[in-house]
Structure 1
Amino acid sequence: MIALWQHLLPRFAATDSRRLQLASFVSVFDRFTMPPMLIAIAHDLHVPLTQIVGAASIYFLIYGLMQPIWGMLSNRIGLAATIRWCTLAGSLAALAAVWANDVTTLTISRAIAGGFFSASFPAALIYVGETSTPKRRHREITDLMTAVALATALSTAVSGSLTAFVGWRWGFALSAALGIASSFYLAHLKELPRTSFRAPIVTPLVTVLRSRAVQKLLLLALLDGAAILGALTFIPAALESAGHNAAVASGITATYGFSVLAGARMVGKLSNRIARAHFILAGSVSGALACLLLSTSTRLPVAVVACFLLGLAWASMHSSLQTWATEVLPEQRPIAVSFFAGTLFAGSALASALGGPLAQHHQFGALFLRGTGLLLVLGIAGTLTRKKWESRNFSATDLK
Structure 2
Amino acid sequence: MSQDVQPATTGSGVPADVPAAGAPPQPQTAARVPPALAAACFLSNFDRFAITPLLMAIATGFHVRLGQVVLVASGYFFAYGCAQPLWGMLSDRYGRMRVIRFTLGAAAVCALASAAAPTLTALVILRIVTGAFFGAVVPASLTYVGDTVPAALRQRALSDLQVALAIGTAAATVVAGAVAAVSSWRAMLALSAVLAVITLLALRRLSESRTATTLRRPSEQLASVLRLRWSWLVMGFGLIEGAVLLGCFTFLAPALENRGIGALGAGGVTALYGAGTLGFSRLLKRVALRPAWQLLAAGGVMMTAGFLVASASLNVAGIGAAAILLGGGWSFFHSSLQNWATTLVPAARGTAVALFVASLFVGSALGSGLGGPLAQHGHYPQLFVLAAATAVPLTALAAWLRTRYTPAGS
TM-score by length of 1: 0.82
- Name the amino acid aligned to 1:72: M
Change in Cα spacing, 1:254 to 1:90, as seen in structure 2 (3 Å) is same
Change in Cα spacing, 1:41 to 1:347, as seen in structure 2 (3 Å) is farther
How far has the Cα of 1:138 moved from its partner?
0.7
Q: Mean Cα displacement is larger for which, 184-193 or 60-69?
A: 184-193
The Cα RMSD (Å) is: 3.0
Match of 1:388 in 2: 401
Does residue 1:135 correspond to 2:152, yes or no?
A: yes
How far has the Cα of 1:106 moved from its partner?
3.0
How far has the Cα of 1:258 moved from its partner?
1.8
Change in Cα spacing, 1:119 to 1:371, as seen in structure 2 (3 Å) is farther
Change in Cα spacing, 1:171 to 1:24, as seen in structure 2 (3 Å) is same
Deviations for 1:309-330, whole angstroms, at most 9, x for unmatched residues? 1111111111111111112333
CA contact (8 A) 1:281 1:379 kept: no
CA contact (8 A) 2:294 2:399 kept: no
Which of 31, 39, 64 lines up with 2:81 in the alignment?
64
How far has the Cα of 1:226 moved from its partner?
2.5
TM-score by length of 2: 0.81
Deviations for 1:128-165, whole angstroms, at most 9, x for unmatched residues? 11111111111111111111111111112222333455
Does residue 1:174 correspond to 2:187, yes or no?
A: no
Change in Cα spacing, 1:126 to 1:291, as seen in structure 2 (3 Å) is same
Change in Cα spacing, 1:314 to 1:205, as seen in structure 2 (3 Å) is same
Aligned residues: 376
Match of 1:31 in 2: 48
- Name the amino acid aligned to 2:177: G
CA contact (8 A) 1:76 1:197 kept: no
Which of 199, 204, 208 lines up with 2:225 in the alignment?
208
Match of 2:262 in 1: 244
Q: Unaligned 5+ residue runs, structure 2? A: 1-31
Q: Unaligned 5+ residue runs, structure 1? A: 1-14
CA contact (8 A) 1:277 1:383 kept: no
Match of 1:316 in 2: 332
Match of 1:344 in 2: 360
1 CA distance for matches of 2:274 and 2:236?
25
Deviations for 1:62-96, whole angstroms, at most 9, x for unmatched residues? 11111111011013332112112211221332233
Aligned sequence identity (%) = 37
CA contact (8 A) 1:281 1:380 kept: no
1 CA distance for matches of 2:251 and 2:112?
24
Structure 2 counterpart SS, 1:190: coil
- Name the amino acid aligned to 1:269: R
Written as runs of structure 1 = structure 2, the 5 A alignment for 1:1-400 is: 17-42=34-59, 45=62, 47=64, 49-100=66-117, 103-164=120-181, 166-195=183-212, 199-236=216-253, 242-246=260-264, 248-273=265-290, 275-295=291-311, 299-352=315-368, 363=377, 365-366=379-380, 369-370=382-383, 372-393=385-406
Match of 2:17 in 1: none
How far has the Cα of 1:166 moved from its partner?
4.3
Change in Cα spacing, 1:392 to 1:310, as seen in structure 2 (3 Å) is closer
Change in Cα spacing, 1:322 to 1:91, as seen in structure 2 (3 Å) is same
- Name the amino acid aligned to 2:328: L
Match of 2:14 in 1: none
2 CA distance for matches of 1:101 and 1:48?
17
Whichever of the two has the greater Rg, that structure is: 2
Q: Mean Cα displacement is larger for which, 249-258 or 78-87?
A: 249-258
Deviations for 1:178-219, whole angstroms, at most 9, x for unmatched residues? 222211111121123344798232133123123221111111
2 CA distance for matches of 1:379 and 1:336?
26
Q: Mean Cα displacement is larger for which, 252-261 or 262-271?
A: 252-261
CA contact (8 A) 2:89 2:221 kept: no
Change in Cα spacing, 1:224 to 1:51, as seen in structure 2 (3 Å) is farther
- Name the amino acid aligned to 1:162: V
